[in-house]
Amino acid sequence: MKNIVKLEFIKTFGYPGFRTIILLHAILFLLVVTIGSQIHLSIQGLRIDKLFAFPHIWATFSWIGSWFNLLLGIIVIILVGNEHQFRTFRKQLIDGLSRNQILYSKMVIITILALYALLIVLLTGLIFGIIYSNNITISSVFEKTPYVLVLFVQSFAYMMLGMLFAFIFKSNALSIVTFILFFFPIEPILRVFFPSEIDQFFPIKIISNLTPMPDFVGITTSDLIQINGSSPASLQNMGIMPESLSVGIATIVCIGYIIIFYFITKQIVKQQNF
Amino acid sequence: METILSVESISKIFGNLTAVDQLSFKVQKGEVIGMLGPNGSGKTTTLSIILSVKQASSGHFSWFNGLSGEMANRRIGSLIEVPYFYPYLNLERNLAITALARGKGENDILRVLDEVGLLKRSKSSYYTLSLGMKQRLALASTLIGDPEVLIFDEPTNGLDPEGIAEVRELIKSQAVKGKTIIMASHILDEVEKVCSSVIILKKGKCIASGKVSELLNKKQIVIIESDDSDLLSVLINQNRSCKVLSKEDKQFTIEIETDYTPSDLNSWLFSKGIILNRLEPKHLTLESQFLELVGKTQNL
């Protein structure tokens, strides 16, 4: 296992394309959260900065972080596609790796990238939270941190799906196009033909709903509600955001999909002529 | 003698094409075996199957008395078709990946780079290498960890004459060390100079196999010439150990049986009153044998 991790590190971190995309991912994320935190609306009772304070910041940053998961999926497609293009999977099989080790080596990278996605949100969240929170308590800091763990599961799922496409199609361009089209419009079109009880269990919907859009209205107007004593406003109460599966159930289903993606990929790798 | 590789009735079918057809052979320890055949004869497919890169449609094989897959491949250094490396990595990093895949340490890298004359380029990116250098790097990767068996598929592809001679010497030096070597090539001269045994493939079938010396000694060709060509012609046709292949002026090219030497022929002709002006044994090459074998099996 140590050898697999080491060889995967050499080829992945030595790839300029990988370093560029990761740098782009980090810059874009930091840029979006920095610009977002600088937006000030002068409406009485509306506190945009609460989105960037503990504990809401974890939901906000996990949601923003999820925008860039597609990029992580594309990185994995490129890494697997390159191996097909350079025929280096074939060489490594000849050199003594097993087909399972070929798959595990890529899963090592997927795990590292999911950890990176988690860490970047965790670290920036801590920094921004400290800056934008008035009263910092231990409970307020940790209250919504499970959102960040859910982001880990979500990015893992995106990348596992990307890897599956890359092993099926072998070509970078075809895999990336299919991967993106599967998110939109292929799965949304398929979902039209199913009732909502089934529709909510489709893979892309489940994966995407893991990090739902934060309840901007509820969070930013909470002070106003407390003053007026009215019922709490929320996007769901206002009918803007539909009710969906709870994050807990969605996470369990998503892990189920990750396992399915793994076994399909394993079968493909087992039978593929490299 | 210890059997290193045993292949039994392997076949590989791609759609309507049978690339390898019920192929069986054995490779003994220390043997340098050449796999010959025209393009599309199934050499690379056979090597890909025995290295578990492609799966056989039927039949089976085993290395080292029962191993296959990655456990066997770690004891084999292989170069199949063209070199496959990461273009953006330098030579050392590329070989480090080979070493790690083979479960070996990275301390062998500089030795093998030196052995193929690429030590000075160890920090160069792979994409900056010439075709010949890429081929040398691929050869270096086969030597990582000093494997017991070496497999080369067209090892001199892209090399200049000097490079070809160097690779030939490299392979010979590995053979002297007692390594078992399987080499696929369609350059027959190369196989003849390096290999002790051959398997000749055509359309996925083995059409001949055995020691190179045995294949070449199956028959003898001599060129003879005498002033009395008419009598010479009559006498040769009477001799059951000889067969005329061609005649040009006073010169005859004849095939004689293996138990009948050119000297026996000369003595016999002298006893019949013929004095030969010329008696020249013609050395058979693997190429001529190969072409004859392949020609004979046109209907395959």
Q: How far apart are CA B250 and CA B71, in angstroms?
A: 63
Residue in A closest to B82 by C-alpha? A87
DSSP, res B125: B
The residues that bridge with B78 in the sheet, in sequence order, are: B151
One-letter amino acid for residue A124 of the chain: T
- Contact list in A for residue B100 (CB cut-off 8 A) is 3-4, 6-7, 10
Distance from the Cα of A168 to chain B's closest Cα (Å) equals 17
Contacts of B83 (CB under 8 A, 6+ apart): B134, B135, B137, B138, B141
Token reading at B75: 């004891």
Q: Are B113 and B119 in contact (CB under 8 A)?
A: yes
- Contact list in B for residue A90 (CB cut-off 8 A) is 53, 80, 84
Interface test with A, best of B88, B124, B127, B143 (most A CBs within 10 A): B88
CA B238 to chain centre: 39
The tally of domains found in chain A comes to: 1
- Contact list in B for residue A88 (CB cut-off 8 A) is 84-86, 97
- Contact list in A for residue B141 (CB cut-off 8 A) is 91, 95
The residues that bridge with B243 in the sheet, in sequence order, are: B255
Tell me the domains of chain B and their CATH numbers: 3-212 (3.40.50.300), 220-283 (3.30.70)
pLDDT in tens, chain B (300 residues): 789 999 999 999 998 899 999 999 999 999 999 998 888 889 999 999 999 888 899 999 999 989 988 999 999 999 987 889 999 999 999 999 999 999 888 889 999 999 888 999 999 999 999 888 898 999 999 999 999 999 999 888 778 888 888 888 888 888 888 899 999 987 777 788 888 898 989 889 998 888 877 776 667 788 999 988 889 999 998 888 888 888 888 889 888 887 888 888 899 999 998 999 999 887 777 777 777 777 665 555
Contact B96/A273, CB-based, under 8 Å? no
Instruction: Give CA separation, A212 vs A36, A47, A141, A208, A247, in Å.
Output: 17, 20, 20, 7, 9
- Contact list in A for residue B93 (CB cut-off 8 A) is 10, 14
Q: How far apart are CA B209 and CA B222, in angstroms?
A: 25
Q: How far apart are CA A66 and CA A133, in angstroms?
A: 23
DSSP, res A186: I
Q: How far apart are CA B101 and CA A98, in angstroms?
A: 9
Neighbours of B34 (CB within 10 A): 26
Contact B97/A98, CB-based, under 8 Å? no
Q: Are A7 and A13 in contact (CB under 8 A)?
A: no
Q: Are B219 and B255 in contact (CB under 8 A)?
A: yes
pLDDT in tens, chain A (274 residues): 888 999 999 999 999 999 999 999 999 999 999 999 888 776 666 677 788 998 999 999 999 999 999 999 999 999 999 999 999 999 999 999 999 999 999 999 999 999 999 999 999 999 999 999 988 888 888 888 888 999 999 999 999 999 999 999 999 999 999 999 999 899 999 999 999 889 889 999 999 989 888 877 666 666 555 555 555 555 555 554 455 678 889 999 999 999 999 999 999 999 888 8
Q: How far apart are CA B60 and CA B33, in angstroms?
A: 20
Nearest-CB residue to B84 (from A6, A7, A90): A90
Q: How far apart are CA B30 and CA B51, in angstroms?
A: 19
The length of chain B in residues reads 300
Token reading at B56: 């056989």
Q: How far apart are CA B49 and CA A94, in angstroms?
A: 10
Q: How far apart are CA B237 and CA B26, in angstroms?
A: 42
Full domain range(s) for residue A45: 2-271
Nearest-CB residue to A7 (from B55, B88, B101): B101
Distance from the Cα of A49 to chain B's closest Cα (Å) equals 45
ipTM associated with this complex: 0.87
Token reading at B251: 């010169």
Name the CA dihedral angle for B281, B282, B284, B289, rounded to a multiple of 10 degrees: -120
Helix (H) or strand (E) holding A68: none
Q: What's the whole-model pTM score?
A: 0.81
For chains A and B, CB pairs below 8 A equal 78
- Contact list in B for residue A271 (CB cut-off 8 A) is 55
